[in-house]
């Protein structure tokens, strides 16, 4: 009877050992079943987060970081703290992609758009041409030889400048200036003109 009890105890102990898996065995079983392992997920998240942070830093250094990229990274951190690594990984991936896209966009748009100095130069050119046209018109008027359309060109040039179309304003003012200058030359050439008998 004693031997039967010992055999029963040994069988019971073996069955308990067989039923109780070690942590290593659990991890292997979880991997085999596709269930996530918390320590592994955390490591993957940390690696992905570092990559996303680098991408955002590069975008920031290029002066082109997108508005919500940092928010996605922050939300990913919050999800990871709660142990929701699936959501955290999705958010961190969005942040990384936004960082990379922002950097790409900064390179694509490096030379885009008018520069302030170019706009300033156009404004100055238009203003100078208008001032020169006014002076030429006044001089032509003084010698009594202003041409018919000079004032119209000058008025249109000022209207174009008011509408911030400085290229058009400069062209119209140049036309008015040339008319004023030519009118002065014509006045000198025709000073002694008249019928000869």
Comparing CA positions, the residue from 177, 160, 178, 173 lying closest to residue 125 is 173
- Other C-beta atoms lying within 10 Å of the C-beta of residue 92: 28
Q: With b meaning 16 or more CB within 10 Å and e meaning fewer, what string describes 138-157?
A: ebbbeeebbbeebbebbebb
Residues of the chain with pLDDT > 70: what percent?
Answer: 76
Candidates 184, 154, 147, 182; CA nearest to 169 is 154
pLDDT of residue 170: 94
CA distance 88 to 75: 7
Residue 86 CB contacts under 8 Å (≥ 6 apart), including other chains: 36
Tell me what pLDDT residue 108 has: 82
- pLDDT the model gives residue 126: 92
Residue 156 predicted with pLDDT over 90? yes
pTM above 0.75, yes or no: no
Per-position b or e across 103-116, b if 16+ CB within 10 A of its CB: beebeeeeeeeeee
pLDDT, residue 10, reads 55
25-51 pLDDT per residue, tens = 444 444 444 544 557 888 999 999 999
Of the listed ranges 8-17, 38-47, 112-121, 151-160, the least confidently predicted one is 8-17
- Quick one: three-class SS letters along 126-165? HHHHHHHHHHHHHHHHHCCCCCCCHHHHHHHHHHHHHCCC
Residue 48: what pLDDT?
A: 93
- In this structure, the number of other CB atoms found within 10 A of the CB of residue 24 comes to 8
């Amino acid at each position: 009877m004693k031997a039967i009890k010992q055999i029963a105890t040994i069988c019971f102990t073996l069955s308990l050992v067989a039923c109780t898996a070690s942590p290593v065995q659990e991890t292997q079983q979880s991997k085999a079943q596709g269930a996530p392992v918390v320590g592994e997920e955390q490591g993957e998240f940390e690696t992905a987060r570092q990559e996303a942070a680098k991408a955002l830093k590069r975008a920031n250094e290029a002066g082109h970081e997108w508005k919500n990229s940092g928010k996605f990274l922050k939300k990913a951190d919050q999800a990871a703290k709660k142990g929701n690594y699936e959501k955290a990984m999705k958010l961190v991936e969005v942040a990384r992609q936004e960082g990379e896209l922002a950097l790409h966009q900064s390179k694509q748009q490096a030379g885009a758009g008018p520069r302030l100095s170019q706009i300033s130069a156009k404004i100055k050119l238009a203003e100078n041409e208008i001032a020169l046209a006014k002076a030429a018109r006044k001089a032509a008027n003084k010698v009594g030889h202003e041409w018919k359309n000079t004032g119209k060109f000058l008025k249109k040039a000022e209207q174009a400048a008011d509408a911030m179309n400085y290229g058009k304003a400069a062209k119209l003012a140049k036309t008015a200036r040339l008319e004023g200058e030519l009118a002065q030359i014509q006045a000198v050439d025709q000073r002694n003109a008249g019928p000869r008998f």
